[in-house]
Amino acid sequence: MAQFSVNAQRFDPYKNFKFRVKWDGRYVAGISKVGALKRSTEVVEHREGGDPSTGRKSPGRTKYDAISLERGVTHDAEFERWASKVWNFASGLGAEVSLKDFRKDIIVEVYNEAGQLALAYKVFRCWVSEYQALPDLDANANAVAIQSIKLENEGWERDYEVAEPSEPTFTEPE
């Protein structure tokens, strides 16, 4: 049974289809898919000479997996602008990378079914390691053209200032 402090009658987990992504203080339009936020910590095994035949384990380095973002191709150049800060083909020799601002913090927000902010995660020092401007184009297909970026990052944390929302209720007409 789920433990919700504000909505004690709620048993359902949040859905994965209502979300928004923000960077530079603005929401980014049209994002339809966000990859998982995943971290893993290496295991360091060691053993002292006087220990039994089994070893000991302690945490080692933690790494954060890259996050992919996808959206339909439009005239909004936000993905391309950020990707070009990491590598800009048109710039002069030695000026291909915008060292001052190629990294950004982003915020991933998850909303409940009523459209209320339920969870938020801050992702730190992201930069674009892959950018796909266009998908394979196929005259026989019936699909939306999708562009994507892959964001390397140096960690993330949940924003605990985002509190569980008080869910709305509806009254039936009499």
Mean pLDDT along residues 142-167: 94
Question: What is the share, in percent, of the chain residues with pLDDT greater than 90?
Answer: 67
Q: Which residue has the tokens 């909303």?
A: 111
Q: What pLDDT shows up at residue 72?
A: 96
**Model confidence band, residue 1 (pLDDT cutoffs 50, 70, 90):** very low
Q: What is the DSSP letter of 31?
A: E
172 C-beta neighbours (distance < 10 Å), count? 4
CA pair distance 169, 174, nearest whole angstrom: 16
Mean pLDDT along residues 73-102: 79
CA pair distance 61, 23, nearest whole angstrom: 27
Query: Model-level pTM greater than 0.85?
Result: no
Cα-flanking dihedrals φ and ψ of residue 86, to 5°?
A: -85, -40
pLDDT tens for each residue of 19-62: 999 999 999 999 999 999 999 999 999 888 887 888 889 999 99
DSSP 140-151: T-----EEEEEE
Nearest to 149 by CA among 124, 166, 168, 129: 129
Domain boundaries, the chain: 19-42+59-158
Position with higher pLDDT, 145 vs 91: 145
pLDDT tens for each residue of 99-117: 678 899 999 999 999 899 9
Selected from 3.40.190.10, 2.30.110.20, 3.40.50.1110, 3.50.50.60, the CATH number assigned to the domain covering 19-42+59-158 reads 2.30.110.20
Position with higher pLDDT, 62 vs 96: 62
Amino acid of residue 127: W
Position with higher pLDDT, 96 vs 156: 156
